[in-house]
Structure 1
Amino acid sequence: MKKENHKTHPGNIVITVIAVILLIVGAVYFIGYLKYTKHYEETNDAQVESYINPVSARAGGYIQRVCFNEHQQVKQGDTLVMLDDREYRAQLESAEAAMDDAHAQLAVLEAGIRSAQTGTQINHDQIKGAQAKYVQQQQDIKRYINLVKEEAATGADLELVQAHYDVAESDYSAAINGLKTNEARIMELKTHYAVLQADIKRKQAALELARLNLSYTIIRAPYPGRLGRKNILEGQQIQPGQPLVSIIDEKEKWIIANYKETQVGGMYVGQPVEIRVDALDDRVFKGRIMAIAGSTGSRFSLLPPDNSTGNFVKIIQRVPVKIEFADEQAANVVPGMNVTVAVKKKS
């Protein structure tokens, strides 16, 4: 019998070569991965974070104009929304009128105080004149009493002098009482002046509040950034405190990387890291650790797990690590992007 020659099929050779190549590539990759994991702690459970704050209304009213578009880049102070301000302008004019009225009353009161003070000067002069006449009449009545005793004057003359004396005494007393009345009036006016000054302070505060409320009808960007979705329209009624649009602070970005609890043992604040963004495959960013959470992420959840029920399954926990970009080349990195973070281990 003839021996059959078993020839290897060309397809089998190709498959064998490919398998060998794959094994070699896999071995090289595996060895590289082991070397890499020996020097780095890596996680892909990480995302870019940023401050995303709502821009809220400080005043209520109808929206007169919306001055932005969705996802628009804005600068600090840019006008976003304008409200119908007619009601607030009327309140401001009313507060200004009340302030003008209070100042007018204050001016009248100051004039009254000055007039009363001038009156006291006149009272002092009247007192001096009345006192001089009173002293003179005292001397005259003493002299006439002696003259009557010496029969050098009649009783009628003494009565006339007595009448002049009584008039001088009354004038002197009236002048003193007039001074007291004016002084009491000055004290009363000064009391009203103090009350009016306090009222002016209240009205000044009301005026400033009216101006402040009017300024709230123009809603501006609190800081430079990029706006979110546009959910408001012109003519819409809004209330104080109502969120109008979200704004992203693109200048301040960081990463929250959730490392396994077995990976954070050698990490420390300030430790350098390498950052790879899924959307930017060819870019490697530098960063450093800003903070390491004091507990696992599950402990920050609304309903932390309770293992005392007896249904215990051991699961490796994750520890949030906050990482900042070490350079300013992360302009194209958007909050919410997935990243891979590698922390170099201590040598």
Structure 2
Amino acid sequence: MSTSEQYTQTDKLITRITAWIAGVILLGLIVWGAISLYNLYLYEETDDAQVQEYINPVTSRVSGYIRDIRYEENQEVKKGDTLIVIDNSEYTIQQQEAEAALANARAQVQVLNSSIETSSKTSQVSQSQIAAAKAKLLNKEQDYDRYKKLYEVESATKQQLENVQAALDIAKSDYQSAMENYQASLSKVNDARVQNAVLQAEIKRREAVVGRNKLNVDYTIITAPYNGKMGRRTIQQGQAITAGQTLAFIVDQDAGKWVIANFKETQVRHMAVGDNAEVEADAYPGQKFNGRIVSLSPATGSSFSLLPPDNSTGNFVKIVQRIPVRIRLTDAVNTIEPLRAGMNTNVIIRKK
């Protein structure tokens, strides 16, 4: 066999193999294209999606120094577990001071009640004195009338009439004095009752102060508001903190997990609340998670941004906007437990 014939056969073999490879590749592309077109026709898909959870700050309601930290970074906690203890010495002293002031106000009420009772008894005595003075005045008036008649018939001297007149004037004065003393005792009782109402209001204010100080003492113990998992720890024992300062972050495990999928505006027309969704996390390829659409955003993501775009400025460039779609993961808790907030996912929703 000549060299030219050998090259010709080799070229034919290479050409045949190349043709077969090209055919297989072409067939694969056709199959892939057909599957893609089929999926595109039946499903809406996006890779612009992330896992979300409620991540809430743990803040302090009072100022002070951290006495104890009872959690570790990334630790799971139960509702009511103590996380942080703040030194409560100052708040305890304030509470004791407020309780002492409240006790003093209540003691003043007791003293005032005793004063009211004494004034009431005094007014009763004054009433008795009025009765005696009135009887004495009546007697002196009768004596005066009798001596006046005797004087007119010259059976009594002028000096006797003047003495009876003086005794009558004294009796009138005593009666008037008794009446005034009685009115004064009644005024004291009324004043004491008004003062008692003032003290009752002061007691309520003191009780409110005591309640507030008790709250401050309670606020020095910071507990977990729900079952969750603690985030990064950034505080140390002995650190000074202020009211309202964020001390830690806790992930709410009771609220569940969901996915925010940002679909193109041209895709959402095929979606409705209640539609099923399939979620695949980049961290766990091949593992599918089930979900259900619970809401669609009322506006595009850019509309909620700090500086929303203004298309009326003259530099308009049309860009396809995205609509956030909230998808609640419906699998069992132990199934979705590996998912973490912020993980990237792919979401597939079947068209209706």
Same fold by TM (over 0.5)?
yes
Instruction: Give the structure 2 partner of residue 294 of structure 1.
Output: 298
Instruction: Give the structure 2 partner of residue 80 of structure 1.
Output: 83
In 2, the alpha carbon distance for the partners of 1:21 and 1:250 equals 50
Superposition deviation, residue 204 in structure 1: 1.9
Does 2:92 match 1:92?
Answer: no
Mapping of residues 155-174 of structure 1, within 5 Å: 155-174=158-177
Asked if structure 1 preserves the Cα contact closer than 8 Å seen for 2:226 and 2:254, the reply is no
Does 2:5 match 1:4?
Answer: yes
Equivalent residue for 1:339, pick from 331, 341, 345:
345
Counterpart of 1:211 in 2: which secondary structure?
helix
Q: Which structure's residues are more often helix, by fraction? A: 2
Superposition deviation, residue 15 in structure 1: 6.9
In 1, the alpha carbon distance for the partners of 2:301 and 2:48 equals 12
Q: Normalising to structure 1: TM-score of the pair?
A: 0.91
Deviations 1:206-252 (A, max 9, x none): 22111111111111112221110000000101111110001111232
In 1, the alpha carbon distance for the partners of 2:13 and 2:59 equals 73
Does 2:284 match 1:280?
Answer: yes
Counterpart of 2:287 in 1: which secondary structure?
strand
Equivalent residue for 1:52, pick from 52, 55, 66:
55
Summarize the Cα distance change of 1:121–1:325 in structure 2 as closer, same or farther, 3 Å threshold.
Answer: same
Instruction: Give the structure 1 partner of residue 65 of structure 2.
Output: 62
Structure 2: 5+ residue stretches without partners: none
Residue 126 of structure 2 aligns with an amino acid whose one-letter code is N
In 2, the alpha carbon distance for the partners of 1:169 and 1:315 equals 107
Summarize the Cα distance change of 1:146–1:309 in structure 2 as closer, same or farther, 3 Å threshold.
Answer: closer
Asked if structure 1 preserves the Cα contact closer than 8 Å seen for 2:127 and 2:182, the reply is yes
Residue 333 of structure 1 aligns with an amino acid whose one-letter code is L
Across the aligned residues of Structure 1 and Structure 2, the Cα RMSD in angstroms comes to 2.4
Mapping of residues 34-45 of structure 1, within 5 Å: 34-45=37-48
In 1, the alpha carbon distance for the partners of 2:14 and 2:204 equals 99
Paired-residue identity, %: 44
Deviations 1:134-177 (A, max 9, x none): 11211121112222333444444434433332232222111101
Equivalent residue for 1:197, pick from 178, 197, 200:
200
Does 2:107 match 1:114?
Answer: no
Counterpart of 2:54 in 1: which secondary structure?
strand
Summarize the Cα distance change of 1:66–1:18 in structure 2 as closer, same or farther, 3 Å threshold.
Answer: farther
Equivalent residue for 2:325, pick from 317, 321, 327:
321
Summarize the Cα distance change of 1:147–1:214 in structure 2 as closer, same or farther, 3 Å threshold.
Answer: same
Summarize the Cα distance change of 1:98–1:308 in structure 2 as closer, same or farther, 3 Å threshold.
Answer: same
In 1, the alpha carbon distance for the partners of 2:215 and 2:19 equals 81
Superposition deviation, residue 310 in structure 1: 4.9
In 1, the alpha carbon distance for the partners of 2:20 and 2:74 equals 53
Superposition deviation, residue 81 in structure 1: 0.7
In 1, the alpha carbon distance for the partners of 2:312 and 2:151 equals 124
Superposition deviation, residue 94 in structure 1: 1.0
In 2, the alpha carbon distance for the partners of 1:292 and 1:265 equals 11
Superposition deviation, residue 263 in structure 1: 0.9
Deviations 1:189-219 (A, max 9, x none): 2222222222222222222111111111111
Instruction: Give the structure 2 partner of residue 265 of structure 1.
Output: 269
Superposition deviation, residue 117 in structure 1: 1.5
Count, aligned residues:
346
Deviations 1:68-96 (A, max 9, x none): 10011112221111111111111111111
Counterpart of 2:73 in 1: which secondary structure?
coil
When structure 1 is superposed on structure 2, of 270-279 and 60-69 the one drifting more is 270-279
Residue 328 of structure 2 aligns with an amino acid whose one-letter code is E
Residue 345 of structure 2 aligns with an amino acid whose one-letter code is V
Does 2:258 match 1:223?
Answer: no
In 2, the alpha carbon distance for the partners of 1:309 and 1:143 equals 116
Summarize the Cα distance change of 1:151–1:46 in structure 2 as closer, same or farther, 3 Å threshold.
Answer: same
Deviations 1:267-304 (A, max 9, x none): 22222222222223343222222222233222222333
Q: Normalising to structure 2: TM-score of the pair?
A: 0.89
Residue 305 of structure 2 aligns with an amino acid whose one-letter code is S
Residue 61 of structure 2 aligns with an amino acid whose one-letter code is R
Equivalent residue for 1:239, pick from 228, 237, 242:
242
In 2, the alpha carbon distance for the partners of 1:18 and 1:152 equals 165
